[in-house]
Amino acid sequence: MKTVLALETSCDETSVAVLRRRDDRSGNELLASEVASQVAAHEKFGGVVPEVASRNHLMYAPPLLDRAMSSAKIDLSNVDA
């Protein structure tokens, strides 16, 4: 089995997920998924401000990663990709 850490920071949400791919290719198992929304931070501007989004990703990613690792009951040494 392969364990994959996925990070998403393309717009106004920061997401971290941990997936496990089965060796028999029968599918993937979602071990953890954490999301932080930035909708409120951008509302006052009437849309997404890239600089604000970038700063918020830097702020939100570390605690989301910690929560995802804890929820999946693994640490980074168990991640294959």
Query: pTM here?
Result: 0.86
Please report the pLDDT score of residue 5 as a whole number.
Answer: 98
What averages of pLDDT result for each successive group of 10 residues across the chain (81 residues)?
Answer: 94 95 85 95 93 95 98 96 93
Q: Which domains are seen in the chain, by residue range?
A: 2-73 (3.30.420.40)
Please report the pLDDT score of residue 23 as a whole number.
Answer: 80
DSSP per residue, the chain: -EEEEEEE-SSSEEEEEEEEE-TT-S-EEEEEEEEEE-HHHHHTTTS--HHHHHHHHHHHHHHHHHHHHHHHT--GGG---
